[in-house]
Structures are given as structure tokens and as C-alpha cells.
């Protein structure tokens, strides 16, 4: 299974994350705004935040034996957009333990900053958080 699909299933199937996203949004949606690869254009709206996007990163075998690769590294990037930094921290505090329970550990993070691509009006810009996670396991 592709790592981004695995992580999508973990995040999309979690009740606590879903409830947090609904609370931050102020409304309940039929489907959460969690996507693998890209957010469809019709959901590019500030009122849909928080939005989560999972991207696969280069993965590779890391230990070889005579029969071939036996241990692999799989990596994903989880990016999400929130209305403020405290919402971002709340998302991190739910996502990190969820992914850790699935074997994915955060190994890289960028500072949470306003994303100028979300609006021309600086007061309406969403905050973007980027975190990379790695899983190392048997192939």
C-alpha cells in the first residue's frame, strides 16, 4: 500500500481528529477535508479549514540481504491549513500520536506561517503547517 493512502486511512478514520476539525470549522461536514495529493478546486475555501493534505515522499529500501531488500523506509508529508496557530498546535497534538501509533514518527517540521496563496486579504489568510513523517519497517 502507498504510504500516503495508509496515512489517509489512519487520519480519516479517527473520531477525535474529526471532532477537532468540526469544532475548529464550527460545523460538521459529511466528509472531512482530508485529502491524498491535492485539494479539489471546489473545496478551496477559507470556511472549509482546517484542510489536510497528505503527500507521498521518496521512499527506499535501507537494509539488504542476499534475497533483496528487507527493511524499507516510507515517508509522507502532512500539510494542513488552519485559521490560527493555536488551531495548528491542536491539530499537531492529535495527528502526531495518531501517526506514531501507526509507526510514523515526525522527523521534519516547518514553522507554521500564513499562506499568502489562500487569500489576497492578509486578515483572511490561513496558516499552513508542514510536517514530514517516516516509517521504517520490514518489507
Strands lying side by side in the sheet with 51-65: 34-36, 51-65, 68-82, 127-138, 105-114
Residue 109 has pLDDT above 90, yes or no: yes
The reported pTM is 0.90
pLDDT in tens, 27-80: 998 889 999 988 998 998 999 999 999 999 987 766 667 677 667 889 999 999
Residue 23 has pLDDT above 70, yes or no: yes
Q: Degrees (nearest 5) of the Cα angle 129, 53, 117?
A: 60
Which residue ranges form the domains of the chain, and what is each CATH number?
3-138 (3.30.2000)
Amino acid at each position: 500500500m502507498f504510504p500516503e493512502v495508509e496515512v489517509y486511512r489512519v487520519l480519516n478514520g479517527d473520531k477525535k481528529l474529526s471532532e477537532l476539525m468540526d469544532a475548529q470549522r464550527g460545523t460538521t461536514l459529511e466528509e472531512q477535508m482530508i485529502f491524498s495529493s491535492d485539494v479539489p478546486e471546489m473545496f478551496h475555501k477559507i470556511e472549509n479549514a482546517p484542510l489536510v493534505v497528505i503527500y507521498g515522499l521518496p521512499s527506499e529500501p535501507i537494509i539488504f540481504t542476499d534475497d533483496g531488500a528487507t527493511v524499507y523506509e516510507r515517508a509522507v508529508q502532512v500539510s494542513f491549513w488552519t485559521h490560527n496557530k493555536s488551531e495548528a498546535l491542536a491539530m499537531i497534538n492529535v495527528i502526531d500520536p495518531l501517526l506514531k501509533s501507526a509507526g510514523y514518527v515526525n522527523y521534519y517540521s516547518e514553522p507554521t506561517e500564513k499562506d499568502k496563496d489562500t487569500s489576497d486579504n492578509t486578515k483572511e489568510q490561513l496558516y499552513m503547517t508542514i510536517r514530514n513523517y517516516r516509517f521504517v519497517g520490514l518489507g
